Structure 1
Amino acid sequence: MNMKKILIPFIAMVLFSASSASHAVFCKENDENGSVSRTTQITPSIIYVPANAPEGTIIWQSSPQTVNIYCYAAWIKDTISFWVNPDGVNLGSGVEPAIIYNGRVYTATSGSIPTGNNIGWKPATMRATISYSLAIIRKGPIPSSGSSVIPNYPMFQFDGKKGLNRDKGKNFRNYISGGTFRYTTGGCVLDTVSANKSVGLPSMPIIKTVGAKAGGVDFSIQAVCNNLARSVTFEFFGYADNSDRSQFQNIEKSGAQGIAINLATSDGVTIDPLGGSDSFRTVPAVGGTATLNLRASYIRTSSIVTGGPVSARAYVMVTYN
């Protein structure tokens, strides 16, 4: 019997499945087991939203916040960034959330706001200490009266510059809580000059002893009121000197060491940059204007001093009665 070989062709099929790597940055406070949230209580608890305040006016600002951030990247090279209003949720009528970072105001329309801290290509970690302030600014139409409770609200999320992490709950957020918006037809705001005032001090003389001051310059700031306010309270915040926490820190990179800025009222009482009882000054409103007279001086805060530039930044919040 003749046998024929029958060749049956086989077609080898290799199935390829495309997989998309999950490129993500995860950020927590302090370390890999740290918290992914912080809540800043609103003080004072009532935030007045005056209808006559120009859009962009800061109507509330927190004291300086500092967070030690720990971030992990999964196969991505990126820059750790702020994302304001990460959920795209309305905070309230006539207001908008913001942050103040390195002296500039940013909102959700800013997109990603780089902190300058980068993370590598391979799975890597990074740590950084980041300081900022939270803020609420005037924007959009508001009711002429009434009030609304401020929700427990995420002001920003730390994430990569390339976008927000799809996995919620794995990146650090700073929330605000505990306040009420009160809508008014008028209010008190810093005038245009005071809101962005720059005070120049003379070249720094030699200050021989710790605690001594020099180079003082007198100036004033004003709040203008479009209501029946009897008095205005100016509240100051800023970064405190490492050696003397009652003085404003020199924020110049490679600046003078052992030298800070003393901010005081005209009667010589030092203003506390850390939000204590000496951070408030209340003055009468006369004819719709409240004026606070101040003096800025160099002050020596350490036994060791080096030369270099000196500058400080003070933030001011205005409330009225």
Structure 2
Amino acid sequence: MKKIYQLVCLTLLLVLAQKSYALACKKDGTQAADVIMINTSIAVSNALPKDTVLWRSDNYSISMTCWQDRAGAGGEYVYFYLSPRDPGLTQLGPDLEVGIHLNGTDLRCTQLAGCRVQLPIQFQGCPWGSCTSQAQTFPLNFNFFISKKSPPSPGKEGPLTAVPTYPAFQLDGAGGMNTSPDSNFVMVLVGLNNMRYVSCSSSLSISPKTVDFGSINSTGAQAEKVIKEVPFSITALKTCNSVYGLNAYLKPVAATVVDGYTLVPNNNTSVGISLFKQPARTAIPFNKEFTLVERSSDQVVVNNFLAQLKWRTHQAILGKFNATATIDVFYK
């Protein structure tokens, strides 16, 4: 009986120790929840492949404060949990999945062990007393995206999900998520029921495929001075009369973006490239969604653009330069 008694006591101690590992995380130190609205309709071609990004939010940067909220806690890291209230990933139905862009990478719950990501925030433990004095505050930079979870499925029409509100992520410790109200910060997406299937997709063609500014005279370099402008066009084609529009999202490759609108080549920072939509010369942003094609039933739409090259410095860097931007397209 003595051995059994010791075993039972050990088991109880292990259970109690496991429960003592817990973190509290709040936005701005006090806020336990926030909401991001999807306030636009999103059209989806049923021919799109699995893992196609259907919508992407703006970039967000929030201040998070975490602390170990129970005495007796051991050391642990902060974890970023995706879909914290949907363990089976069934609430949105078979066609949708919410993902997060974190630390330069698109992350989906179905691709992560435990549907979580370890953040580089570590606590050394709080053996006794109040743990709030060891709280850590850090920035969290991210954007959301909605991904197609199913393969192409011809014939589907109508809403992709009837769920309007969906908890997207929660911060917590290694031992799992605390589901007590107001215990840990939860970000909620609202408006997923604005997504619907349409009967055909669009294809894009860019002419010319490469914008070539040719040779440039480095004499007289002056910051903000326009060097050259080259026109190009993007044509959208679709095979049906479904009424929808197209939004686009330009992401830099081998380049950085300054002021949100200027693409700077990595191999020559003395020049910058800006894009304008004609004929109104509307500036086109990078890393932010913009309207490419207005909603209509037109099967062919041609948009004219202008690529503008300008100096960023008073001293030219001699040699070749190149920069690329990929384009993500979202149906509206």
* Alignment TM-score, normalising by the size of structure 1: 0.66
What is the deviation of 1:174? 1.8
* The structure with more radius of gyration: 1
Q: Which residue of 1 aligns with 2:34?
A: 38
1:39 aligned partner, one-letter code: V
Q: CA deviation at 1:176?
A: 1.1
SS at match of 1:318: strand
* Structure 1 residues not aligned, in runs of 5+: 1-12
Going from structure 1 to structure 2, the CA distance change for 1:107 and 1:97 (only over 3 Å counts) comes to: same
- How many Å separate the matches in 2 of 1:20 and 1:83? 22
The whole-number CA distance in structure 2 between the counterparts of 1:165 and 1:154 is 13
Unmatched tracts of structure 2, length 5 or more: 127-133
CA separation of 1:203 and 1:71: change in aligned 2, threshold 3 A: farther
- Structure with the bigger RCO (C-alpha within 8 Å, sep 6+) is 2
8 Å contact from structure 1 (residues 260, 310) kept in 2: no
The match for 2:187 is: 174
Instruction: Give the structure 1 partner of residue 25 of structure 2.
Output: 27
Instruction: Give matches, 1:131-280, under 5 Å.
Output: 131-140=141-150, 144-147=156-159, 148-160=161-173, 162=174, 164-168=176-180, 169-188=182-201, 209-212=222-225, 223=236, 225-229=238-242, 232-236=245-249, 244=259, 247=261, 262-265=274-277, 268-273=281-286, 279-280=290-291
Matches within 5 A, 1:48-59: 48-59=43-54
Q: Which amino acid aligns with 2:56?
A: Q
Q: 1:270 to 1:56 in 2, by over 3 A?
A: same
- C-alpha RMSD of matched pairs (Å): 4.8
Q: Is the 8 A contact 1:93 1:142 kept in 2?
A: no
**Aligned pair count?**
292
Query: Is the Cα contact below 8 Å between 2:156 and 2:199 reproduced in 1?
Result: no
Query: Structure 1 residues 117, 290: closer, same or farther in 2, change over 3 A?
Result: farther
1:119 aligns with 2:122: yes
Identity %: 17
Question: 1:187: how far off?
Answer: 3.5
Cα 1:217–1:131 shift into 2, 3 Å: farther
Q: Please identify which structure carries the higher helix content.
A: 2
Give the 3 Å change call, closer, same or farther, for CA 20–179 of structure 1 in structure 2.
closer
* C-alpha contact (below 8 Å) 1:213/1:298 kept by paired residues: yes
**After superposition, where does 1:74-153 map in structure 2 within 5 Å?**
74-78=73-77, 80-88=78-86, 89=89, 90-111=91-112, 112=115, 114=117, 116-123=119-126, 124-140=134-150, 144-147=156-159, 148-153=161-166
- For residue 318 of structure 1, the aligned residue among 296, 320, 330 is 330
Deviation, structure 1 residue 302: 9.2
Q: CA contact under 8 A between 2:43 and 2:198: conserved in structure 1? A: no
Distance in 2 separating the partners of 1:171 and 1:198: 49
1:287 and 1:151, CA in 2 relative to 1: closer, same or farther beyond 3 A? closer
Q: In the alignment, which residue of structure 2 is the partner of 1:65?
A: 60
